[in-house]
Amino acid sequence: MGGHVDGFAEEAARARRALVREIEAYGALRDPAWRAAFSEVPRHLFVPSYYVSGTGGHERLRSGHPDPARRARWLRGAYRDEPLATRVRDGELVSSSSQPSLMAEMLEALDVRDGQDVLEIGAGTGYNAALLSHRLGAEHVTTVDLDEEITESARTHLAAVGYKPTVITGDGARGCPDRAPFDRIIATCTLPSIPYAWLTQCRPGALVLTPLSTGLVLLRVRDAAHAEGRFLATPAYFVALRGGNARFPRARPMGLPRPAYEDDRFRFLFTLAAESLDAREALALWQREGRPERERFGVTVSEGRQWAWLDDPEGPYAWPLPSG
């Protein structure tokens, strides 16, 4: 029995090393502290089961399957650089483990320092909170999720690998005032706008990194009423926030050419400017401005209002975001 356990541990360690090499080849994990976190935190313990798409619908892979070949397939999948669907209800994805290379890029962009306090919105499997706990110490990490089943599962996974960050069941759009103030806020779910509650729970100079539209915006918080920043270059698709601040991207409207809508950069603009531009206006702007990349866009939050913009917060191209 011991040989089997040792063999499994060795196989998992090899798979983890291979994943780290793949993430490095992607261009992330330049910070040795994050490289150590991804090298040492066992992702497979956070995804004891997950779903893969097949011809017959969703197929569930799990660690406890009696067939050794199925268990081996589960382990290999746990260390692929891919997102994993971990909870599906009534055919709808409600929770997942994000693509590790994207997680690494986000964590490095968060630019944490020793002793800083981080709030994570969207507990997921607990894996991201474990990486943060490895880097900062669990006492500096708080993670929030609306779903009690998700938070309980994340708490169990975290404890199994020796981490005990604060895990809260609640609406992520409201933050976690009892644990504030925070130096960093990172969200792992898509939002339509920046919740104002987050800014009130940040220390001056804090960073907020959140999915918005189909991108990732990194904001510097000046004070409880002001924040501003630009989008990262990378695309990002996350499960939508559930709760009071949730909204889903628009479907492709009639009359919009499929090649345009299927262009990732156009869909980013089309969703970002949803409050202001119809499809043709968005398409004309996108073509006129040379099909702009995500990093040309930004977001400003100021005195109870917020807007997205192209190139310049005070320039001609700006669109209000929904109330946060």
Q: What is the pLDDT of residue 45?
A: 96
pTM over 0.85: yes
Residues tagged active-site = 95
Q: Which contacts qualify for 155-158: CB closer than 8 Å, 24 or more apart?
A: 155/126, 157/45, 157/46, 157/125, 157/126, 157/127, 157/130, 158/126, 158/129, 158/130, 158/133
> Which residues contact residue 230 at a Cβ distance below 8 angstroms, ignoring those fewer than 6 apart?
217, 218, 295, 297, 298
DSSP string, 67-102: -HHHHHHHHHHHTSSS-EEEEEETTEEEEEE--HHH
Rounded Cα distance between 306 and 228, Å, is 9
Rounded Cα distance between 311 and 296, Å, is 5
Domains of the chain are 2-231 (3.40.50.150), 258-320 (no CATH)
Q: What is the pLDDT of residue 216?
A: 97
> Which residues contact residue 294 at a Cβ distance below 8 angstroms, ignoring those fewer than 6 apart?
215, 231, 232, 233, 234, 235, 265, 268
Rounded Cα distance between 305 and 303, Å, is 6
Q: What is the pLDDT of residue 253?
A: 67
How many C-beta atoms surround the C-beta of residue 24 within 10 A?
Answer: 15
**pLDDT tens per residue, the chain (324 residues)?**
444 556 788 999 999 999 999 999 999 999 999 999 999 999 999 999 999 876 666 788 999 898 999 999 999 999 999 999 888 777 677 788 999 999 999 999 999 999 999 999 999 999 999 999 999 999 999 999 999 999 999 999 999 999 999 999 999 999 999 999 999 999 998 888 999 999 999 999 999 999 999 999 999 999 999 999 999 999 998 877 765 444 444 566 666 788 887 899 998 998 899 888 888 899 999 999 999 999 999 999 999 999 999 999 999 999 999 876
Rounded Cα distance between 38 and 17, Å, is 9
Backbone angles phi, psi at 99, to 5 degrees: -60, 125
